[in-house]
A and B are shown apart, each in its own frame.
Chain A
Amino acid sequence: MPLLEVNNLSVAFARYAGGFQRRMEQAIVGLDLSVEAGEIVAVIGSSGSGKSLLAHAVLGILPGHAQVTGTIQYDGEPLNERRIAALRGNEIVLVPQSVSFLDPLQRVGAQVRTTARGTDPTATVRSVFKRLRLAEAVGRLFPFQLSGGMARRVLVSTAAVSAARLIVADEPTPGMQAEDVNETLSMLREMADKGSGVLLITHDIEAALRVADKVAVFYAGTTVELAKAADFAGDGSNLRHPYSRALWQALPRNGFKPLPGTQPSQDELPSGCLFAPRCPFATEACSAERPAIREVRGGWTRCFHAS
């Protein structure tokens, strides 16, 4: 049984577009994903594809006007509002995206301690700070006194001091020095090895592939492929979806071949396959209907023509 299982999750926001016209903006469209205990699942995709909303949806902190459909199961039971309210901060923690998630008027040490568990929370904080090369004095600073890289490490430490079974890390590494990236990733790996599940949301594919067990490829608000990290190898022929392959080939080490075109805007999604406008293999059938997710070669993909 997976620790976290997201089925057909959609998140939409009502937007007032000129005059009194109200239109729904689909931020996440029929997303499927699962995380087993002891593994890191990386969610990769370019920025602006709704990845942060996935994190917020799992933690139940989406804004009030968001309309959510689909199911999120944790530990085999639906993660409803009541249940997540009791679990977050204890069993489920978030590593947020930027320093703006720290209260500007509270010392960072106090903020990190709210998630610290164990017999001696202060000692836990101290040892985690040490590993992340944060001086003890950093705990007495206010967020505005942190450098960008320091702030990132403080944010990561909020998860590392916890005893959480599920860690949702939303872009934890950008702006960090290589050393800190490594330390952060190995910390997440350690937590996974101790039996926690980690959902690592990132646009840094290379970093993600170093520690992840599985990869979910995110495009225009949905997962187009769920693959093993090992499938990202060679020329990418083990991958199942044309977008995954394009992402893989766009990496510097694979020749930097960029994919032409841009992601569709979330309020003008194509009616068929979301990737059809940019897909070199698109056929008429692709624009007629959205491909459902299906199993292909031990992974999952949303493509009519994958085999």
Chain B
Amino acid sequence: MLRNLCAFAGWKAIRLVLLLAAVSVISFMLIEWSPIDPVQAYIGADMLRVGPEQREAIAAYWGLDRPPAERFFKWAAALLQGDMGTSMIYRQPVSQVIAERFAASALLMAAAWLLSGLVGFAAGVIAAARRGRLIDRAVQWICYTLASTPPFWLGLLLLMTFAVWLGWFPVGLSVPAGVLADQVTLADRIRHMALPALTLSVAGIAPVALHTRQKLIDVLSSDYVLFAKARGEKGAGLLLRHGLRNIAIPAVTLQFASFSELFGGAVLAEQVFSYPGLGQATVEAGLRGDVPLLLGLVLCSAVFVFAGNTMADLIGRMIDPRIREGKVL
């Protein structure tokens, strides 16, 4: 068991290092080929007032006059020593920008993740247990509608309804504008987070619910549920003992493996609500050619998604006796 775990950890670590190396190289190449000129993006609106000499000075300051390969290796060498470089647009160390943004996004994503997981799972279970009834059809109908709704459109809809018309929630940002940081209350944060979190979780509910429903239907028509019935088990007890137990493993695994969709959704949701999180920073960094920040963000999101997948694996291993007590690694 312990040896298995060590082998598992070692194997995962190697995979992670390879993944990060590949992701850095590919992202760097993509940025290099992109039509955005970082110097121009940096100067922005001051374009007309900046002469060619100043442009060169700026390029030299950020090291943009060096050949791409040299810049990449310089960046990589610094990264290995723990220095992620300095963001061009925020003029702060990349690690600091990411840390701040991550705190805001983590809250948002965690809320959305929990909400979509719980609501989706519950809806799926109810639909499957009442298969073919009205509630099942309603759940399915809602899910297909949600699944075919673009999240940003949904975000705009929520924004218009609840923030603009009803005025229940703020229109954007993660904290009230013009309030000192230490005076921001938790209630403020939650109020600002509510709509983006809702948008993000609604997008996640449909796949979870439909997957749970299908799995539970399969389980409920399995031989072992048939035999449990034949042994006199029925109703909620049967559902709990044999149904939920058997769909919990795939559900949990799927939920952890969904980190990549979560991150992708966050980029859109944060953009719509101008919520200053990782997603928004990614869009900014991409549009304005902030190479160090973009690379930092790409690496972080890769680690994030990888962590989700590893967790899915690990939890699957821990709760599934077929793996836990079997010989298979």
A residues with a Cβ closer than 8 A to B are 56, 59, 61, 63, 85, 88-90, 93-94, 96, 98, 100-106, 111, 114-115, 142, 144-145, 158
Can you list 14 A-B contacts with CB-CB less than 8 angstroms, sorted by A residue number? A56-B226, A61-B226, A85-B234, A88-B231, A89-B231, A89-B233, A90-B232, A94-B227, A94-B231, A96-B230, A100-B222, A106-B242, A114-B232, A144-B322
B321 and A96 contacting across the interface, CB-CB below 8 Å? no
- Is B221 at the interface (CB under 8 A from chain A)? yes
**B232/A115 in contact, CB under 8 A:** yes
With A and B bound together, what is the CA distance between A38 and B307 in angstroms?
62
B interface size (C-beta, 8 A)? 24
Kindly list chain A residues whose C-beta atoms are within 8 Å of the C-beta of B225.
103
| Distance between Cα atoms of A106 and B219 in the complex (Å) | 14
Q: Kindly state whether residue B74 has any CB partner on chain A within 8 Å.
A: no
Distance in Å: Cβ of A155 to nearest Cβ of chain B = 9
Q: Give complex CA distance A90, B226 in Å.
A: 16
- Chain A-chain B contacts (Cβ-Cβ < 8 Å), number: 70
Question: Interface 1/0s, chain B 211-245, versus A by CB < 8 A?
Answer: 00000000001111111111111100000011001
Top-5 shortest CB links A-B: A89-B232, A101-B227, A94-B230, A89-B231, A100-B223
Q: Which of B223, B228, B232 has the most CB of A within 10 A?
A: B232
- The majority secondary structure among interface residues of chain B is helix
Across-interface contacts of B301 in A (CB, < 8 A): none
Quick one: given A100-B222, A100-B223, A106-B242, are A115 and B322 in contact (CB under 8 Å)? no
Quote the shortest CB–CB distance from B220 to chain A (angstroms): 11
In Å, the complex CA distance between A102 and B224 comes to 5
Interface hits, B275-301 → A, CB 8 Å = none
Q: Does B258 contact A (CB under 8 A)?
A: no
Contacts A104-B322, A111-B231, A142-B321 given; 18 further ones with Cβ under 8 A?
A: A61-B230, A88-B229, A88-B230, A88-B231, A89-B230, A94-B230, A96-B223, A100-B223, A101-B227, A103-B225, A103-B228, A103-B245, A105-B321, A106-B241, A106-B242, A115-B231, A115-B232, A144-B322
Could you say which of A59, A90, A103 contacts B246, with CB atoms under 8 Å apart?
A103
CA distance A114 to B229 in the complex (A): 11
User: Is the CB of B51 closer than 8 A to any CB of chain A?
Assistant: no
Quick check: A61 and B321 within 8 Å, CB to CB?
no
- State in angstroms the CA–CA spacing of A106 and B232 once bound together: 16
Question: Is B325 part of the binding interface, using a Cβ–Cβ cutoff of 8 Å?
Answer: yes
Q: How far is the CA of A91 from the CA of B226 in the complex (A)?
A: 17
Task: Looking at the assembled complex, report how far the CB atom of B132 sits from the nearest CB atom of chain A, in whole angstroms.
Answer: 9
Write the nearest CB–CB distance from B182 to chain A, whole angstroms. 50
Q: Are A142 and B233 in contact (CB under 8 A)?
A: no
At the interface, yes or no: B178 with Cβ under 8 Å from chain A?
no
Any A CB within 8 A of the CB of B326: yes
Please report B residues at the A interface, Cβ cutoff 8 Å: 221-234, 241-242, 245-246, 249, 320-322, 325-326
Q: Which of A105, A142, A144, A158 contacts B231 (CB 8 A)?
A: A158
With a cutoff of 8 Å between Cβ atoms, the chain A residues found around residue B224 in the complex are 100-104
Asked if A93 contacts B231 (CB within 8 A), the reply is: yes
Give Cα distance in the complex from A93 to B326, angstroms: 31
The chain B residue sitting closest to A92, CB to CB, is B230
Complex contacts, B232 vs chain A, CB 8 Å: 88-90, 114-115
Expressed in whole angstroms, the minimum distance between the Cβ of B15 and any Cβ of chain A is 28
Q: From A63, which residue of chain B is reached at the shortest CB distance?
A: B221
A46 to B199, CA, bound (A): 59
Q: Do A105 and B222 touch (CB < 8 A)?
A: no
CB distance from A115 to the nearest CB of B (A): 5
Q: How far, in whole Å, are A94 and B232 apart by their CA atoms in the complex?
A: 10
- Interchain nearest-CB distance for B266 vs A (Å): 34
B contact residues around A93 at 8 Å (CB): 230-231
Best-buried of B231, B232, B242, B321 by chain A (most CB within 10 Å): B231
Q: What chain A residues lie within 8 Å of B226 (beta carbons)?
A: 56, 61, 96, 101
Cα A50 to Cα B274 in complex, Å, equals: 64
In the bound complex, residues from chain A placing their C-beta under 8 Å from that of B223 are 96, 98, 100-101
* Closest Cβ neighbor of B230 among chain A residues: A94
Residues of A near B245 (CB, < 8 A) are: 103, 105-106
Min CB–CB distance A93 → chain B (angstroms): 7
Closest CB of chain B to A6's CB: distance in Å?
A: 17
Across the interface, which residues of B come within 8 angstroms of A102, CB to CB?
224, 227
Least CB distance from B49 to A in Å reads 70
Q: Give Cα distance in the complex from A85 to B246, angstroms.
A: 23
Would A114 and B233 count as touching, CB distance under 8 A? yes
Closest Cβ–Cβ distance, residue B294 to chain A (whole Å): 45
Return the chain B residue nearest A142 by Cβ.
B321
In the complex, what's the smallest C-beta–C-beta distance from A191 to chain B, in angstroms?
Answer: 17
Q: Decide if A59 touches B221 in the complex (CB within 8 Å).
A: no
Instruction: Output the residue of B224, B245, B246, B325 with the most chain A CB within 10 A.
Output: B224
Nearest chain-A residue to B248 (Cβ)? A105
Q: List chain B residues, Cβ under 8 A from A104.
A: 224, 246, 322
Point out the residues of chain A lying under 8 angstroms from B227, CB to CB: 94, 96, 101-102
Residues of chain B lying within 8 A (CB to CB) of residue A98: 223
**A56 to B227 Cα, complex, angstroms:** 10
From residue A253, how far is it (CB to closest CB) to chain B in Å? 34
